[in-house]
Structure 1
Amino acid sequence: MKATIERATLLRSLGHVQSVVERRNTIPILSNVLIEATAGGGLRLMATDLDLQIVDQIDAAVDTPGATTVSAHLLFDIARKLPEGSQVSLSAAEGRMKVVAGRSNFTLPTLPRDDFPVIAEGELPTGFELPAETLKQIIDKTRFAISTEETRYYLNGIFLHVADGQLKAAATDGHRLARVTAEKPEGADGMPDVIVPRKCVGELRKLLDEVDGAVGVSLSGTKIRFELGRAVLTSKLIDGTFPDYTRVIPSANDKLLKIDPRSFMQGVDRVATIASEKTRAVKMTLDRDRVTLSVTSPENGTSTEDVPGEYTSPGFDIGFNARYLLDILNQIEGDLVEVHLADAAAPTLIRESDTSSALYVLMPMRV
């Protein structure tokens, strides 16, 4: 195999594929990227961790078609350090790959192409297109609520499903819930309910920054594939049942606080400076047209701040985890946020308005 490629093109593609590769691998070939030079010109780069696979096609001048596998992180680090604007020559033979650019010359060990594992996709009967912007919004407004607790593995991803004539995405860790709705795309009828794993969500979000237009989505009950221009991301889905999250979305919270999300967020952030790392609890005292935020810490003392807001119901106290509250307020884009409350023990509903596509549910804490 022999090919020549621009350093910037190679670096961008390796940036896409190498982040799928785990740093520590018991199977040596999983540390490698598969590089295929095709007779028609162009390179195909592939990386996998056996659950997630990415394939990227890039332009290159091919002298000799062929394929090999080489350390993904090592090649990425080399490409990163090569001079800007340089042409990189890649040639592989007899278990070695030569990387030459200007005066730089590297010889790297390779492993045979035939040993490289490929995720068998099988049938992906559901297929539709989603605008890249919609997919970005779905990810950005839900992924902060994905659980990192391995024991409840079925919460380690974003739940995608079709209901009430809409495409819905939800994520929860048991303390907070984020849900976004989007127009149901053509072709999504009969789509199975799926849980897209956290790692796939992260890789997909990175790739979306370079995509304009639509993303092709194909899926079955066990796998999902995203076509993003010349890159294709394929992932196994989480094999589990996502809980019926609709049961925790409150519909009878009768106390309404309307407040500016920026001043609310800054107030919470300031008083939480002294909160202990373990609890991160912030108390909200609701009074007519204002909220008093306070934190009491045995080690660090106390802090309070008043934030103006529109509130006319009877006053009461409620506590929240400051980090969870800040994560939610960070997603609010408008100038007003609605906080629907019931009492100090009931879940609280947070959203921009009753017409916004995103809503959040936050469980209170004892303070």
Structure 2
Amino acid sequence: MIKGTTFATDQSGLRPIYAGVLFDLKDNELNMVALDGIRAAICHYLNGSSGTISAVIPGRTLNEVAKISEIEDTEVKITFTSNQILFTIGKTKVISTLLDGEFGKYETFIPNEYTLKVIVNKQSLIDNLERASIIGREGSFSSVLLDMQEDKMYITSSSQIGDIKGELDVLLQGLPLQVKANSKYILDALNAIEDEEVMLKFTSSLSVFVITERNNENSTYLISPVRM
């Protein structure tokens, strides 16, 4: 869940609360949420722990915990105080101050209805996006156009260097649509998903779209499109 969220934390330093990941535990369900104003990552987990906890943990702390837990290969125990969190990983302890501030109501960000759902092989989509990113990169930003119609997804990118267009077979449910987005944000989400197939869900060309695994929604990724 850590690696599925921390990449979406805000790195600008302008909103310190969003440099962390929300740990939201209630009704035996845990949601870990990161967002930076353009995208969001939400990982859902059924948890046997009782009680209610809502705290924002620094993303850097979670990344360190993830590295240590890979080395220790043991269960991570988490203890909260009013303003701190303690991770116990085998014989290693990591303590951090929680971030103070009001975190956005992430539940309201997820669309209730979609006009288009697209099922596609994850690796094929990654390969096409990476090729398109080479052409469309402008600094750290690389935009691609997703054109979905008749069980095909066309991925196009243009710049002064040239143009590139890829084609994928997809399972399309709904109305044809074109959406422009930052390819890096899509790739970050895809690389956090383990399933071989993913589902992309759209409402319109200007609305937030959603990426999940095909067969479950334990991990949900939201991305704001680029205006065409």
TM range (shorter): over 0.9
> What amino acid sits opposite 1:272 in the alignment?
S
The question of 1:283 aligning with 2:145 is answered yes
Q: Distance in 2 between matches of 1:291 and 1:160?
A: 36
**DSSP 3-state at the match of 2:71:** coil
Unaligned ranges ≥5, structure 2: none
Shift of 1:317: 1.1
**Among residues 117, 121, 124, which one is paired with 1:256 in the alignment?**
117
The question of 1:342 aligning with 2:200 is answered no
Residues 167 and 185, structure 1, Cα contact 8 Å, conserved in 2: no
**Among residues 12, 16, 24, which one is paired with 1:161 in the alignment?**
24
Could you tell me which residue of structure 2 aligns to residue 238 of structure 1?
99
Could you tell me which residue of structure 1 aligns to residue 108 of structure 2?
247
Residues 193 and 219, structure 2, Cα contact 8 Å, conserved in 1: no
Residues 180 and 226, structure 2, Cα contact 8 Å, conserved in 1: yes
Shift in CA distance, 210/276, structure 1 to aligned 2, threshold 3 Å: closer
Q: Distance in 2 between matches of 1:221 and 1:274?
A: 49
Could you tell me which residue of structure 2 aligns to residue 366 of structure 1?
227
Shift of 1:240: 1.1
Q: Distance in 2 between matches of 1:321 and 1:190?
A: 36
What TM-score do the two structures reach when normalised by structure 2?
Answer: 0.94
Shift in CA distance, 207/143, structure 1 to aligned 2, threshold 3 Å: same
> What amino acid sits opposite 2:97 in the alignment?
K
What are the superposed Cα offsets for residues 154-185 of structure 1, whole Å, 9 maximum, x if unpaired? 10011101134301100011111111111224
Q: Distance in 1 between matches of 2:220 and 2:80?
A: 26
Aligned residues: 227
Q: Distance in 2 between matches of 1:208 and 1:261?
A: 27
Shift of 1:276: 3.0
Correspondence 1:4-15 to 2 at 5 A: none
**Among residues 128, 145, 156, which one is paired with 1:294 in the alignment?**
156
Correspondence 1:61-100 to 2 at 5 A: none
> What amino acid sits opposite 2:143 in the alignment?
A
Could you tell me which residue of structure 2 aligns to residue 180 of structure 1?
43
What are the superposed Cα offsets for residues 182-220 of structure 1, whole Å, 9 maximum, x if unpaired? 12243x4132x1111122112111111123342221102
**DSSP 3-state at the match of 2:61:** helix
> What amino acid sits opposite 1:181 in the alignment?
H
Correspondence 1:130-169 to 2 at 5 A: 138-169=1-32
CA RMSD of aligned residues (A): 1.4
The alignment-based identity, stated in percent, is 22
> Which protein has greater RCO, CA pairs closer than 8 Å, 6+ apart?
2
Could you tell me which residue of structure 2 aligns to residue 308 of structure 1?
169
> What amino acid sits opposite 2:157 in the alignment?
V
- Which structure has the greater CA radius of gyration? 1
> What amino acid sits opposite 1:160 in the alignment?
F
Residues 194 and 221, structure 1, Cα contact 8 Å, conserved in 2: no
Could you tell me which residue of structure 2 aligns to residue 207 of structure 1?
68
Could you tell me which residue of structure 2 aligns to residue 197 of structure 1?
58
> What amino acid sits opposite 1:302 in the alignment?
D
Q: Distance in 2 between matches of 1:273 and 1:338?
A: 24
Q: Distance in 2 between matches of 1:142 and 1:163?
A: 19
Q: Distance in 1 between matches of 2:26 and 2:167?
A: 41
What are the superposed Cα offsets for residues 321-341 of structure 1, whole Å, 9 maximum, x if unpaired? 010011111122112111111
What TM-score do the two structures reach when normalised by structure 1?
Answer: 0.60
Q: Distance in 2 between matches of 1:336 and 1:201?
A: 27
Correspondence 1:38-77 to 2 at 5 A: none
